[in-house]
Chains A and B, each alone.
Chain A
């Protein structure tokens, strides 16, 4: 690797650092990274609203009691462009959510992974760019 190349790749590191996925708000203010959570529940309602969608799920606790949770998801604009619409997930669909608890201590969390009971991950079917940009 030539010197010039090395500089380019060093520069690339800066470039990537300088272009974070700046989303709409301060996540660390809303959710607690020290409190990961894994929930299994069924979909009750899906609010396809901006700036972030919200999934309402019923989670059955070990004692049999059912507790309602709200899980924050991505912006509908991105989801719809990926082919995910309000008809993609039927009410009653069971899935596992891995995420982080809200700081305010209520039954809210941000979703990190949405996994169907058969192991499939939501939103990624066939749409992931596989690391190659859609250059045009």
Chain B
């Protein structure tokens, strides 16, 4: 108990001494926040801006601005209060006998986004452009494609009729948050950046996805070569690493939905020893009426990155398919019983 009290005191102290720089970075409204200070980005031995290390982009800030909020930023007090409430909600045991309870939470298995720290973010949404913090309207083409995809899924049968009817994430092929763009969720929000001459490697803990980004100015792959995570090429713009990805497939798992015409531009700017500002712009005229941009901080955290060998241990998919077969059998037996009555 005493230990717990000490931990709380230490956490509060850490909050107090760290809020000031975070505030300065967070209020720079969608700009590379190096403008906000005179931070000198360290260099690798070969002279590149040094982004190396372990980072987390855990956040309680939603991608889109919640209804009823019309501001870009919360005050520091509001942001801390919201994070406290969100963390407390994660710590609570869910209500027995509810769907939510057949799920993981902190109480159950320590599933929370606090473990590596959460950088304070005053933004009311990760999206800062359009200025309303919401995804732009979907184009007519985007709506048609979404309807066609839904119809194609329906033709496959029920979601648990076959493994192939399940999403890439359930099948452990690729998690939609692993990116790119790299968006956080409740767990595995950890990244390791390694730089070598001519390359940057970002190891994404979620689904253990290594992103190898060449910096030698090579062109993108030919258009007919398409990859689930696209084809990235990188360059330095001042101290900012800019990664442009194209050559996506039409099955891009990106949760917000996109077409193979997706062009993604990510920007990594080290704004403090313990922080990288991660920004991205999504251009996909076949899906949205205009490009949109979001940003969130990445906080230095402790390594190592743990393996996430999802497929190897994915009993869950088998169990769920077996559960669906058992449900079918029960329904068939009930129908026989009814008809013989």
Contacts and interface: CB of A to CB of B under 8 A. Distances in A.
Interface of A: 7-8, 10-12, 14-16, 18-34, 36, 47, 49-52, 54, 72-82, 84, 100, 102-106, 108, 110-113, 123-124, 126-136
B312 A49 contact: yes
Nearest to B62: A18
A79 B110 contact: yes
24 contacts: A8-B69, A15-B62, A22-B185, A22-B186, A24-B316, A26-B159, A29-B320, A30-B316, A49-B312, A49-B313, A52-B315, A72-B316, A75-B109, A75-B187, A77-B308, A84-B110, A108-B319, A111-B109, A129-B106, A133-B83, A133-B84, A135-B14, A135-B19, A136-B18
Top 5 nearest A-B pairs (CB, nearest first) are A74-B109, A103-B323, A49-B313, A14-B66, A131-B88
Nearest to B317: A25
A110 to B, nearest CB: 6
Interface in B42-78: 60-62, 64, 66-70, 74, 78
A128 B91 contact: yes
B107 interface: yes
Interface of B: 3-4, 7-8, 11-12, 14-15, 18-19, 22, 60-62, 64, 66-70, 74, 78, 80, 82-91, 93, 96-99, 101-112, 114-120, 124, 159-160, 169-170, 172, 175, 185-188, 205, 274, 299, 306-310, 312-317, 319-320, 322-327
Contacts, number: 241
B306 A102 contact: no
A21 B320 contact: no
B116 A81 contact: yes
A81 B106 CA distance: 13
Given A75-B188, A131-B88, A134-B114, A25 B320 contact: yes
B109 A30 contact: no
B113 to A, nearest CB: 9
A104 B322 contact: yes
A74 B91 contact: no
A28 B220 CA distance: 42
Contacts of A27: 99, 102-103
Given A28-B102, A78-B110, A15 B326 contact: no
A10 B89 CA distance: 15
Nearest to B124: A11
Contact of B322 (A50, A78, A106, A133): A106
Nearest to B117: A136
Contact of A136 (B74, B112, B118): B118
A135 B169 contact: no
B115 to A, nearest CB: 4
Given A27-B102, A52-B313, A74-B110, A133 B187 contact: no
A5 to B, nearest CB: 8
Given A23-B187, A26-B320, A113-B107, 9 more contacts: A11-B67, A24-B310, A26-B170, A50-B308, A75-B111, A82-B110, A129-B112, A135-B14, A135-B80
B102 A31 contact: yes
Nearest to A108: B319
Contacts of B317: 25
